[in-house]
Amino acid sequence: YASAAEKDLVVIGGGPGGYVAAIKAGQLGLSVACVEGRGALGGTCLNVGCIPSKALLNSSHMYAEAKNHFAAYGIKTGELSYDFAAIQKQKDTAVAGLTKGIEGLLKKNKVDYVKGWGKLVSGTEVEVAGADGSTTRLKAKNILLATGSEVTPLPGVPIDEEKIVSSTGALALKSVPKEMVVIGAGYIGLEMGSVYQRLGAKVTVVEFLDNIVPSMDAEMRKAFQRILEKQGLKFKMGTKVTKGEVVGGRVKLTLEPAKGGAADSLECDVCLVAIGRRPFTKGLGLEALGIKKDARERVEVDSHFRTNVPSVYAIGDIIPGPMLAHKAEEDGVAAVEIIAGKHGHVNYATVPSICYTHPEVAYVGLTEDEAKAKGLEVKTGKFSFMANSRARAVGDTDGMVKIVAEKSTDKLLGVHIMSANAGEMIHEAVLALEYGATAEDIARTCHGHPTLSEAVKEAALATAFGKPIHM
């Protein structure tokens, strides 16, 4: 074995959890190595997740705007078309630039980037199998597991990444399918379904439950579904797919009502399986060390991100909590602060969720139903973008803001925004919740005019005083 000097910390996994943790460790003066097996840094998020999906969402959104709305703005386009290979190339260029950028950041913060698949040998040793067949052992005072997640497979519907694809295949299609079926009306299904619908595919989304995106506020998700339907997405709710096979280049699916009943069939050119993700800890050697996992295969950690082996910590998608890149990053920073003897903490109650469709839907805190289920007496305030001057000026009025607050104290419990740019706008609400603000605090905060953010202020006025100004 080639062996290296003992590090303060070895991080296994170079995704948003792992690489951010490694950078923070370098900044705090710890000696640190980051082990990554996929040949590029940035994890799921950068390589096959957040970043490539947002590139495709942007290109397809601009095309749909040009096709459907430019005329209303008085802009003539002539005959409009797209070059899908060039759209894919723009995405690939963005991803490649960013992964290289992370390599630079690791270097700048004196993090050793070790290329290969890591495995725990003990609580203080990691064996790395390099792509060239070499094996290296790294000794460490502390080890941080950040190996992320993988697609949850659907029994009976085998993924081949060409005809029956996961999000990874859906991000790399060579052409736009004529007909697409998406299984699962969650984040991936709605974002990738939107991409291909905008580019001309007939998209049907099959969802097991009676609602899309179960974590969204009920009122928001109902309005959201109506808007997506208006755009052309079709939904088959309360339906499960029991079988999928490729016959003569077409995908044939067998469906059943979720509550039981007669089987039905559906055909398409490409089927996207997007029913969730599960923790990825294969080959990591957890079993040999007796590291505990819960019933959903998530690594169990205490409030200090520590597993039951005291020198081994875990963060990101492999532990409980929302499977989101920004949550993984926060975990990583807090875990490293704790390892360095400081006081890291992540407040999962204020992690924002953002669905990057058009309109975007962004929310933080409790839904109205969640607040009521907690036994809280709530009041709500709403404001439609139909009454927001900026939305009217730019002709993009789909959506609303809904605020949930405690009735007796006016304290904010949850903020839900559906509009263009909601993902950028949600952060004033995140900050407000972090500071324990009331609806009146937002209502009395001066908001620039004319902005979409004024709708947040108006919804806060409706919550605090029962009356917005402009509605």
AA identity, residue 252? K
Q: Is 241 in the site for ligand NAI (CB under 6 A)?
A: yes
Residue with tokens 């709605």: 190
Helix ranges (DSSP H) in 246-355 = 286-289, 325-339
Half-sphere exposure (Cβ direction) of 110: Cα atoms closer than 13 Å: 11
Angle ∠(102,103,105) on CA atoms, nearest 5? 60
Residues of span 319-348 touching ligand NAI by CB under 6 A: 322-324
Dig out the tokens for 190 from the structure.
């709605």
Residues of span 82-121 touching ligand FAD by CB under 6 A: 117-118
**In the complex with ligand NAI, which residue's Cβ is closer, 344 or 352?**
352
Stretch that binds ligand FAD, among 98-106, 261-269, 280-288, 300-308 (CB under 6 A): 280-288
Burial class of residue 304 in the structure, from the number of CB atoms within 10 Å of its CB (0-12 exposed, 13-18 middle, 19+ buried): middle
Binding-site member from 280, 304, 340, 440 for ligand FAD (CB under 6 A): 280
DSSP 230: H
Closest residue to ligand NAI, based on beta-carbon distance: 186
Binding-site member from 9, 10, 18, 298 for ligand FAD (CB under 6 A): 18
Please tell me the total number of residues recorded for the chain in this structure. Answer: 471
Q: Is 12 in the site for ligand FAD (CB under 6 A)?
A: yes
What is the rounded CA–CA span in Å between residue 85 and residue 323?
30
Q: How many residues belong to the site for ligand NAI (CB under 6 A)?
A: 26
240 binds, among ligand FAD, ligand NAI, none (CB under 5 to 8 A by kind): ligand NAI
Q: Is 188 in the site for ligand NAI (CB under 6 A)?
A: yes
186 binds, among ligand NAI, ligand FAD, none (CB under 5 to 8 A by kind): ligand NAI
Smallest separation, CB 410 to ligand NAI (Å):
30
> Which of the following is catalytic: 69, 345, 427, 449?
449
Residues of span 349-368 touching ligand NAI by CB under 6 A: 354-356
Q: Is 4 in the site for ligand NAI (CB under 6 A)?
A: no
- Tally Cβ neighbours within 10 Å of residue 308: 13
Stretch that binds ligand FAD, among 144-152, 237-245, 399-407, 445-453 (CB under 6 A): 144-152
**In the complex with ligand NAI, which residue's Cβ is closer, 270 or 274?**
274
Residues of span 186-215 touching ligand FAD by CB under 6 A: 188
What is the rounded CA–CA span in Å between residue 76 and residue 201?
24
What is the rounded CA–CA span in Å between residue 304 and residue 286?
19
Q: Determine contact, residues 52/91, Cβ cutoff 8 Å.
A: yes
What is the rounded CA–CA span in Å between residue 47 and residue 95?
6
Spell out the residues 6+ positions from residue 219 whose beta carbon is closer than 8 angstroms to its own. Answer: 368, 402
* Three-class DSSP category at 99: helix
Of 400, 405, 467, nearest to 437 by C-alpha is 405
What is the rounded CA–CA span in Å between residue 378 and residue 380?
7
**In the complex with ligand FAD, which residue's Cβ is closer, 346 or 464?**
346
x-or-dash string of contact with ligand NAI, 133-162, rule CB under 6 A: ---------------------x--------
**In the complex with ligand FAD, which residue's Cβ is closer, 312 or 437?**
312
139-to-32, 35, 128 alpha-carbon distances in Å = 11, 12, 11
Smallest separation, CB 337 to ligand FAD (Å):
17
Strand partners, 456: none
Active site residue 449: yes
Smallest separation, CB 117 to ligand FAD (Å):
4
x-or-dash string of contact with ligand FAD, 321-340, rule CB under 6 A: --xxxx-x------------
126-to-11, 317, 366 alpha-carbon distances in Å = 10, 20, 40
148 binds, among ligand FAD, ligand NAI, none (CB under 5 to 8 A by kind): ligand FAD
Task: Kindly list the catalytic residues.
Answer: 449
Residues at the interface with ligand FAD (CB under 6 A): 12-18, 35-38, 43-45, 49-50, 53, 117-118, 146-149, 167, 188, 280, 283-284, 316-317, 323-326, 328, 356
Residues at the interface with ligand NAI (CB under 6 A): 154, 183-189, 191, 206-209, 214, 240-241, 274-277, 322-324, 354-356
